[in-house]
Amino acid sequence: MFDEREQLREEVTALRARVAAGDAEAEAKERQLERYAADLRETFKRERERAQALRRSYMATVRALSNAVEARDAYTGRHAERVAAYGLEVAHALGSELAENPEIEFGFLLHDIGKVAIPDAILYKPEPLSEQEQLLMQRHPVIGWEILREIDFLGEAKRVVRSHHERWDGAGYPDGLAGEEIPLAARVFAVADTLDALTTTRPYRTAAGLARAREIIGQAAGTQFDAQVVAAFASIGDESLERIRTGR
């Protein structure tokens, strides 16, 4: 009898010890798992910071390139920045995922980079260009595309550079693409570019008002421009466009 109780007590003690050991083990495992979670969190944070830093330096590089083009062409002053802003506004209005793609803004900013290869005598000629000069001028999208070709992070941006002078009706250059063959970003850009050209003063003419610019762009829907893009553009209020035009 006594032996039995003693034995039982020993068993209970042993069992308790095992449970306690099990608890301690489980707790240690939990702590280990929490360490994993914490390390993952730190790794994620570091990676996110690096990605942000990388994106910032991409942006700075693209801006430097874009400024290099702008610096030469004094009278378009800030054209690339405005066009990029108009373009993003139109992309937003289209409700397209385009607006979320940073490459697109790069493409908008760099669209005229090929002009670095166009001689001053042609670029700044106030009179109409001869046919040969025009052909040379029209090479700038391809030259730009070739300059940027090896830069992977520009992705879709390179297509904007190449195709920004294409027309919806196929009468544009350099590839004579028509309709949806033209990348959407380039179709958006075409409207933004024309808007800026119309609403800023150039040596050969004064700026048109916003209402007039809307009219001209509206008339070119379905010929020069994608009608859907023009409709998206038409839905943007004057204040947004005016803010971009004045740079405020």
- Cβ proximity of 114 and 106 under 8 Å: no
Nearest in space to 110 (alpha carbons), one of 74, 141, 76, 72: 141
Distance spanning both ends of the chain, measured CA to CA: 96
Residue closer to another protein (CB basis): 98 or 190: 98
Does 33 contact another protein by CB under 8 A?
yes
Q: Which long-range contacts (CB under 8 A, 24 or more apart) does 178-186 make?
A: 179/226, 182/226, 183/156, 183/159, 184/96, 184/98, 184/226, 184/229, 185/87, 185/91, 185/98, 185/101, 185/104, 185/107, 185/108, 185/156, 185/157, 185/159, 185/160, 186/107, 186/159, 186/160, 186/162
Binding-residue total with another protein (CB under 8 A): 16
* Smallest distance from another protein to CB 51, Å: 8
Catalytic positions are 115
**x-or-dash pattern for another protein, window 36-75, by CB under 8 A?**
-xx-xx--xx--x--xx--x---x----------------
Residue closer to another protein (CB basis): 29 or 125: 29
Residue closer to another protein (CB basis): 108 or 173: 108
Which residues between 140 and 179 bind another protein (CB under 8 A)? none
**x-or-dash pattern for another protein, window 91-130, by CB under 8 A?**
---------x-x----------------------------
**Residues contributing to the site for another protein (CB under 8 A):** 30, 33-34, 37-38, 40-41, 44-45, 48, 51-52, 55, 59, 100, 102
